Structure 1
Amino acid sequence: MARPLLRGDRLQAAREAVGLTREELATKLGLSGPARVRVWETGLERPRPRFVPRLASALGVDPLYLLDVDAGDPPLAALRLAAGFATNQVTAPGLSVMTYVRLEDGRPGVDDSAKVIAAVAEVLGMDVARVEAAVRRSRSNHAALASFGG
């Protein structure tokens, strides 16, 4: 499944709403200049996952607002990005990266035991109910794509 995209229009609107220039936002993020902010706003590049929560914090918005997802019912990938993690960083005792990737992709038959969901929730810093709902959304998205393609 495709990773949720940062909405450049929302990034720009949030930046303008708090009265920051691209240069000022770049400085807050520790970037060398405003070019990176410009390419994110225009959609030419995606920020690394670690920048999503940093952008949201600097702009005073929920990280999910910056992504092209329904913030009320996001898939697991969106929660991961909102927390600032790359897929290979979501691992813990009893949770392999591959198990996590399969959960995020919404593949059926993946271990979604309470222990695995609790491990994902802990890594992402989210509550278990939110992660369970995100796994359901990811599965729904996967099923929709599978039926569309098949």
Structure 2
Amino acid sequence: MARPLLRGDRLQAAREAAGLSRDDLAERLELSSPARVRVWELGLERPRPRFVPRLAAAVGIEPLHLLDVDPDDPPLAALRLAAGLATNEMGAPGVSVMTYVRLEDGRPGTEPTVDAVHAVAGLLGVDEARVQAAIRRSRRDHAPLAPSGG
């Protein structure tokens, strides 16, 4: 599955609801220019993962609400973005970056180990049940892309 997209319309609506101009938001995020906020709102560019939780905090909403996913059933990639982490930051004792990538991509195969789920949960700052549900969601999202036997 492709990385979830930041919903520029949601960012703009939340920014306006918070009474912030693009200049205000850019200043809060320590950006050199409000032009970056504009391109994010227009969907012309994606922010780096580290900006997702910072944007959400600045406009007073949960990070998952900025993404084009169901916040109640997000795939693993959305949890990672909501935590502000890049894929290459997902290695820890119990899970390699490549193992994490396979989980995020929803690749079928063996179930993740208890240690891997625990490590991912720790990195993302969520409970293990949330990680397991996100892995299942990632697999469901990936399933239509799997080649059919024939």
Distance in 2, matches of 1:111 and 1:87, equals: 20
Q: Separation in 1 of the partners of 2:60 and 2:114? A: 33
Q: CA RMSD in A?
A: 1.4
Q: Which runs of 5+ in 1 are unaligned?
A: none
Q: TM-score, normalised by structure 2?
A: 0.96
Q: CA deviation at 1:94?
A: 2.0
5+ residue gaps, structure 2, are none
CA distance in 1, matches of 2:146, 2:10: 30
Give 1:16's aligned residue. 16
Question: Scaled by the length of structure 1, what TM-score is found?
Answer: 0.96
1:64-143 mapped onto 2 (5 Å cutoff)? 64-143=64-143
Partners of 1:56 and 1:28 in 2: CA distance: 11
Q: Deviations over 1:117-136 (max 9, x none)?
A: 00000011111010000000
Identity %: 72
Structure 1 residue 147: Cα displacement: 5.7
Give the residue type in structure 2 aligned to 1:30: E
CA positional deviation for 1:33: 1.2
Amino acid at match of 1:63: P
Going by fraction, where is helix more abundant, 1 or 2?
Answer: 1
Moved over 4 A (4+): none
Residue-pair matches, total:
149
Structure 1 residue 109, shift from structure 2 partner: 1.1
Residues 58-90 of structure 1 deviation map (CA, whole Å, 9 limit, x = unaligned): 011010000000001000000000000000000
